Structure formats: C-alpha cells, structure tokens
Amino acid sequence: MQLLKYLQSQGLGSRKQCQWLIDNDCVTINGALWNNPKSVIEPDTVKTLNIDGDDVVVVPMPYFYILLNKPADFETSHKPQQYPSVFSLFPDHMRNIDMQAVGRLDADTTGVLLITNDGQFNHRMTSPKHKAAKIYRVTLKHAADDSLCETLKHGVLLHDDNETVRAAEAFLADEKTLIMTITEGKYHQVKRMVAAAGNRVEHLHRDKFSDWDTQDLGFGEWKFI
C-alpha cells in the first residue's frame, strides 16, 4: 500500500493533509523517517507510528476487531442523542475510520461491545442464524428463585412481538443476580424478557459475546482482538 494511502487509511487526514505530513518529515514508522509518499508500506509490518512527535495507535488493516468494555452513560451510536458516543472513547484519528459496533448496548448497559470495520463479520455475529452466545449479568429489582430461570428458558412472549423468545441458559448467581445467555439481539431483549417474566432489570452487564470477555479491561478500556 502506498504510504500516502496508508496514512489516510489510519484516519490521519485527507490526501492533502497526509501529503503535507510526509513532505514535512512528520512521519516515522518503526523508528525510521518515511518522507516519500510513493514508498510502499506493508500494513502488517507497522509496529509503531509517530506523527509529528506523537505516537499514534496503529489500526490493523484492512480489517480490525476491537473489544471494548463499555461504560454506562455512553450511546452505541455515531449520532448520540443524550450521552456521548462510545466512539468518543477512541483516539481522534480513529474517529475518521469506518468503525461499526457489532449490535448495540443500551446507554445504561455495560460490558462487552465489539467494534469492527468488517461488515461480513458484523453480519455473521449479529445474525440470529449464527446463534452467537451473549451472556448477561442481570441485577434484578426483586429477589427471584429458580422459577424465573425456568420461565426464561421455557420462553416468554415479548410485548408487541408475536414470537416467543427463550434464554439459551439462565441461572441465579444469587437471589438478585441472574446470569442469562441469549443468541438473538432483539431491541432491549434482556430487559423485555425479564419484564415479561415478572421481574425488572436494575442493571445490565454483558459478560461475554461469543468467545470474548472483558476480564482484563476496566470500564472504557479497549484492545484489538
């Protein structure tokens, strides 16, 4: 990939801006100055990228996959209405790159959120056919017993929906903590299922999405996977 194109792919500016960076000796890759816009760079070989004295995050190309531990009070949207966008948690230059969340978490929901520029991966992970498991830790308003889990596994009819939805797995960690696995991603699905089963969600945290969990990440932290 040409150096100029590579810098653009990293979200570092327009063609003109990236040309300026190269012409003004502002681009250092793996410790060496790159000042010929026509040089060819193999994206996989880039370990460090320094622009005008600042190290910037190197985004794997052509595809990247990010695991974010979403904090509360952030919206999974590029056009948030009430809270800041989850995309504001990333460095400035990454916001110029096509980044799409794999499904959504509500503003008040925390935990595993995948972000990618790979549309096929996104489609596969969100398609109900693929049955990617999503495990939620649900803090309940009312103390519950195993009958709640049985109801959720048996299936509940969601308001305004003609379909019964079932939890793939459900158990109580304690009387107010439900661990529930679902394989679809309907709008407010967990909150609506728990409400349909006669309880209420006080807090929702996604512990796991398919193979990924946030055990080594604090809220707002992220990593490439």
User: Cβ closer to ligand URA: 195 or 217?
Assistant: 195
User: Cβ closer to ligand URA: 7 or 86?
Assistant: 86
Q: Closest separation between CB of residue 111 and ligand URA, Å?
A: 9
Neighbours of 131 (CB within 10 A): 11
User: Cβ closer to ligand URA: 49 or 75?
Assistant: 75
Q: Closest separation between CB of residue 58 and ligand URA, Å?
A: 31
User: Cβ closer to ligand URA: 45 or 81?
Assistant: 81
Would you give the distance in Å from CA 74 to the centre of its chain? 12
Half-sphere exposure of 103 (CA within 13 A, CB side): 28
Query: Which residue among the candidates 25, 52, 55, 106 is catalytic per the annotation?
Result: 106
Cα(83)–Cα(181) distance, integer angstroms: 27
Cα(189)–Cα(191) distance, integer angstroms: 6
Q: Closest separation between CB of residue 59 and ligand URA, Å?
A: 26
Q: Closest separation between CB of residue 192 and ligand URA, Å?
A: 6
- Determine contact, residues 127/111, Cβ cutoff 8 Å: no
3-state SS of the chain: helix, strand, coil percent to 5? 25, 30, 45
Binding stretches for ligand URA (CB under 6 A): 105-106, 109, 188-191, 204
Cα(152)–Cα(166) distance, integer angstroms: 6
- Determine contact, residues 149/174, Cβ cutoff 8 Å: no
Per the annotation, the verdict on 106 as an active-site residue is yes
List the catalytic residues.
106
